[in-house]
Amino acid sequence: MTTENIQSATQHSFWNDTGKTGISSWIFSTDHKRIGLLYFYSTFGFFLVGVLLGLLIRIELMAPGRTIMGAQTYNALFTVHGVVMIFLFIIPGFQGSFGNLVMPIQIGARDVSFPRLNLFSWWIYMIGAVIVLASLFTGGGPPDTGWTFYVPFSARTGTNVSLAVLGVFVIGFSSILTGLNFVTTIHRLRAEGMTWWRLPLFTWSLYATAWIQILATPILAITLVLVAAERMLGTGLFDPSRGGDPVMYQHLFWIYSHPAVYIMILPAMGVISDIVPVFSRKPIFGYKMIAFSSLAIAAAGSLVWGHHMYTSGMSDTAVLVFSFLTFIVAIPSAIKVFNWVTTLYKGSISLEAPMLFGLSFILLFSIGGLSGLILGAAATDVHVHDTHFVVGHFHYVMFGGTGFAFFAAMHYWLPKFYGRRYAEKPAVVSWALMFTGFNVLYFTMQVLGMQGMPRRYYDYLPEFATLNLVATAGSWILAAGLVIMLVNLFRGLWWGAPFEGNPWGGATLEWSIPTPPPTENFIVEPVVTHGPYDFKGSGIP
Amino acid sequence: MNEHHHIISYGKLTGIWLALLLLTALTVGITRVELGGFKVLAALSIACLKAGLVIAVFMHMKYEGRLLRWLLFLTLVTLAIFIGFTFFDVLYR
Decide if pLDDT at A2 tops 50: no
Q: Tens digit of pLDDT for each residue in A469-506?
A: 999 999 999 999 999 999 999 999 999 999 988 999 99
**Structural domain that includes position A455:** 20-512
CA A387 to CA A455: how far, in whole Å? 5
- Are B48 and B84 within one domain? no
* CATH number, domain with residue A399: 1.20.210.10
Q: With cut-offs at 50, 70 and 90, classify the pLDDT of residue B4.
A: low
Q: Tens digit of pLDDT for each residue in A323-348?
A: 999 999 999 999 999 999 999 999 99
pLDDT at residue A17 in the model = 67
CB neighbour list of residue A345: distance below 8 Å, 6 or more residues apart: A285
Q: Collect all residues of chain B within an 8 Å Cβ-Cβ radius of residue A213.
A: none
Largest CA distance in chain B: 52
pLDDT at residue A421 in the model = 94
> Which carries the bigger pLDDT value, residue A53 or residue A243?
A53
pLDDT at residue A7 in the model = 45
As for how many domains chain B has, the answer is 2
Query: Does some domain include residue A116?
Result: yes
Query: Does some domain include residue B44?
Result: yes
Mean pLDDT (whole number) for A438-442: 97
Q: Is B10 on the interface with A (CB under 8 A)?
A: no
Query: Does some domain include residue B3?
Result: no
A484: three-class secondary structure by DSSP:
helix
pTM for this one?
0.91
pLDDT at residue B38 in the model = 84
Closest alpha carbon within chain A to B91: A315
Decide if pLDDT at A25 tops 90: no
- In whole numbers, what is the pLDDT of chain A averaged over residues? 92
Distance from CA of A142 to the nearest CA of B (A): 32
> To the nearest whole percent, how much of chain A has pLDDT over 70?
97
CB neighbour list of residue A53: distance below 8 Å, 6 or more residues apart: A77, A78, A80, A81, A84
Closest CA to A211 of A297, A114, A337: A297
The 8-class DSSP code of residue A96 comes to I
Q: With cut-offs at 50, 70 and 90, classify the pLDDT of residue A10.
A: low
Mean pLDDT (whole number) for A283-305: 91
Q: Collect all residues of chain B within an 8 Å Cβ-Cβ radius of residue A313.
A: 93
Query: Does some domain include residue A331?
Result: yes
* Residue A235 identity: T
A193: three-class secondary structure by DSSP:
coil
Closest alpha carbon within chain B to A245: B90
Does residue A472 contact residue A61 with C-beta atoms inside 8 Å? yes
CB neighbour list of residue A5: distance below 8 Å, 6 or more residues apart: none
Write b or e for each residue in A88-106: b if 16 or more Cβ atoms lie within 10 A of its Cβ, otherwise e.
bbbbbbbbbbbbbbbbbbb
As for how many domains chain A has, the answer is 1
Q: With cut-offs at 50, 70 and 90, classify the pLDDT of residue B2.
A: very low
pLDDT at residue A485 in the model = 97
B89/A251 touch (CB, cutoff 8 Å), yes or no: yes
pLDDT at residue A414 in the model = 96
Query: Does some domain include residue A533?
Result: no
Q: Tens digit of pLDDT for each residue in B17-58?
A: 999 999 999 999 988 888 877 888 899 899 999 999 999 999
Dihedral of CA atoms A49, A52, A58, A61 in degrees, nearest 10, equals -80
- Are B50 and B69 within one domain? no
> To the nearest whole percent, how much of chain A has pLDDT over 90?
85
Does residue A401 contact residue A353 with C-beta atoms inside 8 Å? no
- Are B32 and B54 within one domain? yes
Decide if pLDDT at A301 tops 70: yes
User: What H or E segment, with its residue span, contains residue B8?
Assistant: none
**Structural domain that includes position B81:** 65-93
Mean pLDDT (whole number) for B78-88: 90
Nearest by CB to A315, which of B78, B81, B89?
B89
Q: Tens digit of pLDDT for each residue in A399-411?
A: 999 999 999 999 9
pLDDT at residue A5 in the model = 39
- Are B55 and B12 within one domain? yes
> Which carries the bigger pLDDT value, residue A195 or residue A537?
A195
Q: Where are the beta strands (DSSP E) in A189-338?
A: none
Q: Tens digit of pLDDT for each residue in A124-143?
A: 999 999 999 999 898 888 99
pLDDT at residue B36 in the model = 78
| Torsional sign, CA A454, A456, A462, A465 | positive
- Are B75 and B89 within one domain? yes
Query: Does some domain include residue A28?
Result: yes
* Residue A488 identity: N
Query: Does some domain include residue A397?
Result: yes
